[in-house]
Amino acid sequence: MIPRYSRVAAIDDNEEHLKAIAWGLSQAGFCPVPFHFDDGDLLPAPEAPITGMRIVFTDIHMANGNLANPKMHAGIIIQCLKKIGASGPYALIFWSRFPGEVEQIKRLIEADGPGTGLTPPVVYGSIDKGMVLGADGSGPFDAEKLRKLIGAQMEKFPTLATAAHWEMRAAEAAAKTTDTVFLLTQAQISEQRTKTWESLLAYLAAEAVGPEVAPRNIDAALDSALLPILEDQLSFVGRTSATPIPETHPLRIALSVSPRPQRPDGVSFARLNASYLIDEAGAASPKGEFERGMVIQLPGSFINSGPFIRLFGKERSELIHAEFLLKNKAVTPEQLSQLTLHVVELGPECDHVQGKVSTHRYLLALLVPSALFSLCYSKNYNNLSVIDVGLMAFKEAPQEEFHLLVSTRCYMTLPPSSALGGTCRFRLRRMSIEEVVHHYTTHARRPGVMRFNS
């Protein structure tokens, strides 16, 4: 079952019906987030899409005047879902007086939603308003029945429930972090408790990122301050779960496949890596080229320019050959043109956190179409100076796969605020950066030992 106290959105144009569903949800143990569809506007208007809304209840006919126009009604639901921010897996439960319309509206959302940028629901359900509000929607409200109907719906999505439980555990890790810090304050007098707590948080924030940086972005400073405890708590997520998963649970059935569950056909290794190793959305970071781990495509105007030659000592073609390509392989000009030069920002983490980066360090990198990968150095060739971050494919063209090669011996530096004007492509995730740093430092510390062999 969807975990108790989960947030559940509810949309209706009829305020009485909205109150009814919100009341029913709260009685069933969930946290309702009601939205009134007010002739085209959602009230209160979500300031930004709400992350992690896994269950949405919606009325079907929210516009006056033409109940027999399913395309329009489906279009309105799609718009509402996009405003609320339904993304990732979520269940859409129709809350309507017309259960006979559900299948048609569902088909229209499936057909029309993706073209508008909507992530369609992973599952659907429905509750007939007539069963709790009377046939014309204005009868006596049967709250107990609604509570039961909601409960029955929430039982229907076991896999979504498992994901929601995981999210709940992750949220608990954050809550425990807050508790741990708060419990350090031992003030006896109530008036002092908040004050002591505030002082402690301020102290930790300043310690984490420095007293100059912390006031500039208190949230970020607190994130850094609490991260060590949170990371530890997160590493224990799930280990303490006592909720037994029944034999009939779809995930248990999927896990029982011998010898092991198979990767779904539509999910390539490259897309998996693109989710685990890099963060495509990270390209939009406000820090841009100065974000730690940012992978930046070098601008055409920069390549082979005077500064380029000064920084790397070679022209593009020569540089690529020297740093990344195997010596015994012939490379055509067309193949060479498909290799794109990038850099990876690799400033010290501590300086980044405290906003003290005095010089941004960028390692040279090359994005190589997988078809040309055999031309390049990789760990298969025991070349320690080039790291293959992994096979990856990007969201907008999942069929095109690439390797990102990072050179640990070829880099450039730039002072803060002196941007290259390149294109931020994605950000390496924390563990990927750690791996690059590990290779980089290992390579840099490589001693030149003279050794004689017989």
Partner 1 sequence: MAKRIPFRVQSHVLKLLGDQLIGHDRLAVFELVKNSYDADARTVTVTLDLLAPVPKISVRDDGIGMSADTIENAWLQVGTDSKRNVQTRKRSPLGRLPLGEKGVGRLAVQKLGDTIRLVTRQEGQPEHAFKISWGALIDSARYLGDGLAVEVVERASPEEFEFESGTLVEITDLHHTDWSRREIRDLYRLVTSLCNPFDDKSSFKVDLDLPGHEAAVADLPTLKDMLASAVWEFNFQIEENGLIKWEYRFNPPKFKSLTPRNQGPVIEKLALIDPDPDDVRPRTNPDPGTGMCEEDEHIFVRPADLEGIGPISGSIYAFHRRDEILKASGAPQQLKKWLEQQTGVRVYRDNIRVFNYGEAGEDWLGLDARRINRPAGKLGAQSVIAQISLDLAKSTDLREKTNREGFDENAAFRRLKRISLSVFDLFQRLHSEDRSAIDRALKGDEDSPPVQAALERLEALGKKHNLVKEVKPVIQAIKAELKSFQDVMVASGLAGMNLALIFHEIVHSVDRIQRRLQAGVDPDEVRKEVEHLRKLMDTFKPLLQRDPARSVPADDLVRRAIGFHADRFARHEVVVSNWTADPEKRHDFSVSVPRGLVVGALSNVIDNAIYWTRFRRERDGSGSAAILVLTSWDEETGGMIAICDNGPGFQLPRDFLGKPFSSTRAGGMGLGLFYCKAVMESIGGSLEVVDASELNEVVDLPAAYDGTAVVFRFQKK
Shortest distance (Å) from residue 113 CB to partner 1: 8
Alpha carbon separation from 226 to 66, 181, 203, 361, 429 (Å, rounded): 53, 8, 12, 27, 19
Shortest distance (Å) from residue 122 CB to partner 1: 15
Q: CB of 275 within 8 A of CB of 88?
A: no
| Radius of gyration from C-alpha coordinates of the chain | 28
228 binds partner 1 (CB under 8 A): no
Identity of the residue, 130 or 288, whose beta carbon is nearer to partner 1 in the bound complex: 130
Identity of the residue, 46 or 75, whose beta carbon is nearer to partner 1 in the bound complex: 75
CA-to-CA distance for 359 and 349, rounded, in angstroms?
Answer: 13
DSSP reduced 3-state for 73: helix
Tally of CB atoms within 10 A around 279: 19
49 binds partner 1 (CB under 8 A): no
Alpha carbon separation from 29 to 8, 86, 148, 168 (Å, rounded): 10, 21, 11, 14
Shortest distance (Å) from residue 116 CB to partner 1: 4
Instruction: Specify the amino acid at residue 165.
Output: H
40 binds partner 1 (CB under 8 A): yes
Identity of the residue, 134 or 210, whose beta carbon is nearer to partner 1 in the bound complex: 134
Tally of CB atoms within 10 A around 451: 4
Binding window for partner 1 (CB under 8 A); candidates: 98-106, 241-249, 266-274, 445-453: 98-106
DSSP reduced 3-state for 356: coil
Binding mask 343-382 for partner 1 (x = CB under 8 A): ----------------------------------------
Among 18, 28, 92, 97, binds partner 1 (CB under 8 A): 97
Binding mask 53-82 for partner 1 (x = CB under 8 A): --------x-xxxxxxxxxx--xx-xx---
For strands 386-393 and 401-414, give the pairing: antiparallel
Identity of the residue, 111 or 251, whose beta carbon is nearer to partner 1 in the bound complex: 111
Shortest distance (Å) from residue 96 CB to partner 1: 11
Alpha-carbon dihedral 160, 164, 167, 173, rounded to 10 degrees: -140
216 binds partner 1 (CB under 8 A): no
Closest to 442 in 3D by CA, of 381, 384, 364, 388: 384
Shortest distance (Å) from residue 87 CB to partner 1: 16
CA-to-CA distance for 298 and 420, rounded, in angstroms?
Answer: 7
Shortest distance (Å) from residue 86 CB to partner 1: 15
CA-to-CA distance for 126 and 129, rounded, in angstroms?
Answer: 9
Shortest distance (Å) from residue 76 CB to partner 1: 6
| 115 Cβ contact list (under 8 Å, min separation 6) | none
Identity of the residue, 63 or 336, whose beta carbon is nearer to partner 1 in the bound complex: 63
Binding window for partner 1 (CB under 8 A); candidates: 84-92, 96-104, 205-213, 336-344: 96-104
The footprint of partner 1 on residues 243-262 (CB under 8 A) is none
Q: Scan for tokens 């144009």, then name that residue.
A: 13
Identity of the residue, 115 or 447, whose beta carbon is nearer to partner 1 in the bound complex: 115
Identity of the residue, 85 or 158, whose beta carbon is nearer to partner 1 in the bound complex: 85
39 binds partner 1 (CB under 8 A): yes
Q: What is the DSSP letter of 346?
A: -
Identity of the residue, 64 or 382, whose beta carbon is nearer to partner 1 in the bound complex: 64
Binding mask 102-141 for partner 1 (x = CB under 8 A): -xx--x--xxxxxxx-------------x---xxx--x--
CA-to-CA distance for 257 and 390, rounded, in angstroms?
Answer: 28
The stretches of 85-217 forming alpha helices (DSSP H) are 102-112, 130-133, 143-154, 158-182, 190-209
End-to-end CA distance of the chain: 70
Provide the binding-site residues for partner 1, judged by CB under 8 A: 13, 39-41, 61, 63-72, 75-76, 78-79, 97-98, 100-101, 103-104, 107, 110-116, 130, 134-136, 139
